[in-house]
């Protein structure tokens, strides 16, 4: 497994998104996926306090146990846990990190990320509290998520001390918004970019093909905000991308990872997994390295995707 740099950290180019732990997988199933990830060379684990209302952090901490030292452990804070626990006020930052440390069963968080901007709190105040955590050794690096270009620039100029080293926003072949400025800002600031939903909620796994019944029990088939993903237009895009990959002896899943990793700003593609086989497939997908010409060919197949 190749690695890339995030601040002072070195992370595997395929990471494990832990949002399934708690809501979809119990502690034992989580353990199986976590150990399969470690055995496959995946050492970057990304969770959040909000996932399963704390269960994800608990399950990850239990599953790692004595293998904690083998991973770069990232978590997030700021989204609403309950009426009292939310936001980015310094007092809450201090409370949130202690609760995450306890649930994770660790004395440090390698990457602590503000999950979403908090317009009610000056970013300088939040960064000041995060700097305290870094100086206290409770956090190694800090990052942010769902930030715009303007918010990244404001954070960079806000305060001395610890600065954001990464930004985690949605990015995939079907969601190209970071190309409208955020990736360029990452390059200017030297920020590591971490794409979430890299497989477009499963659309780029190869499980959904035109003319075939979708597998039951998946996120897309559950309805709600994901239902629109199975549009005729998107399924046609899937067919074009799948053909491109298959003509080269590859899979659509491999193409989704390779396309993201061809961007120098991307340090790790974090994707969720609900089984050991799934995480092993994700890990193996990093082997394909697209040339600049190949990436341009893929872009031409899905122009204007969002």
Q: What is the pLDDT of residues 183-214, one digit of tens each?
A: 999 999 999 999 999 999 899 998 877 767 66
Q: Which residues contact 175 (CB under 8 A, 6 or more apart)?
A: 197, 200, 305, 306
Q: Please state the separation of Cα 101 from the chain's center in Å.
A: 20
Each domain of the chain, given as residue ranges in start order, spans 3-207+252-297
Distances (CA, A) of 270 to 11, 19, 74: 11, 11, 11
Could you tell me which of 90, 174, 169 has the C-alpha nearest to residue 127?
90
Is residue 191 classed as helix, strand or coil in its secondary structure? coil
Phi, psi of 289 (to 5 degrees): -115, 110
Residues 137-195 pLDDT 10s: 999 999 999 999 999 999 999 978 999 999 999 999 999 999 999 999 999 999 999 99
Is 51 in the active site? yes
CATH superfamily of 3-207+252-297: NADP-dependent oxidoreductase domain (3.20.20.100)
Q: Of residues 51, 59, 112, 244, which has the active-site annotation? A: 51
Tokens of 211: 């003319």
Distances (CA, A) of 90 to 119, 121, 133, 160, 242: 14, 9, 11, 16, 47
Distances (CA, A) of 204 to 81, 197, 200: 30, 10, 6
Task: Write down how long the chain is.
Answer: 306
| Residue 267 and residue 6 in contact, taking contact as beta carbons nearer than 8 Å | yes
pLDDT reading at 305 higher than 50: no
Confidence (pLDDT) at 277: 97
Is residue 172 classed as helix, strand or coil in its secondary structure? strand
pTM reported for the whole predicted model:
0.94
**DSSP symbols for 126-194:** HHHHHHHHHHTTSEEEEEEES--HHHHHHHHTT-SS--EEEEEEE-BTTB-GGGGTHHHHHHHHT-EEE
Rg over CA atoms, the chain: 19
pLDDT reading at 228 higher than 80: no
Q: Tokens 């003319």 — which residue? A: 211
Confidence (pLDDT) at 231: 80
pLDDT-derived band at 306, boundaries 50, 70, 90: very low
């Amino acid at each position: 497994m190749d690695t890339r740099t995030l601040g002072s950290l070195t992370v595997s180019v395929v990471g494990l998104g832990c949002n399934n732990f708690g809501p979809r997988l119990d502690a034992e199933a989580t353990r199986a996926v976590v150990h399969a990830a470690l055995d496959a060379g995946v050492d970057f684990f990304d969770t959040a306090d909000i996932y399963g209302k704390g269960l994800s952090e608990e399950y990850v901490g239990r599953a790692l146990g004595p293998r904690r030292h083998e991973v770069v452990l990232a978590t997030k804070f700021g989204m609403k846990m309950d009426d009292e626990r939310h936001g980015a006020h310094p007092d809450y930052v201090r409370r949130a990190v202690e609760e995450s440390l306890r649930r994770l069963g660790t004395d440090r968080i390698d990457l602590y990320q503000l999950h979403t901007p908090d317009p009610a709190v000056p970013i300088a105040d939040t960064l000041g509290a995060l700097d305290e955590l870094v100086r206290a050794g409770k956090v190694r690096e800090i990052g942010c998520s769902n930030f715009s270009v303007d918010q990244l620039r404001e954070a960079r100029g806000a305060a001395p001390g610890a600065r954001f080293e990464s930004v985690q926003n949605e990015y995939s072949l079907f969601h190209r918004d970071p190309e409208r400025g955020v990736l360029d800002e990452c390059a200017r600031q030297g920020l590591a970019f971490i794409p979430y939903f890299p497989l477009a909620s499963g659309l780029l796994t190869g499980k959904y093909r035109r003319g075939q019944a979708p597998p039951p029990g998946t996120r897309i088939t559950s309805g709600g905000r994901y239902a629109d993903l199975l549009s005729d237009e998107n399924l046609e895009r899937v067919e074009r991308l799948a053909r491109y990959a298959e003509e080269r002896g590859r899979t659509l899943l491999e193409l989704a990872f390779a396309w993201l990793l061809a961007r120098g700003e991307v340090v790790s593609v974090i994707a969720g997994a609900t089984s050991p086989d799934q995480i092993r497939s994700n890990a193996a997908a990093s082997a394909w390295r697209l040339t600049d010409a190949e990436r341009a060919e893929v872009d031409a197949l899905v122009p204007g995707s969002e």
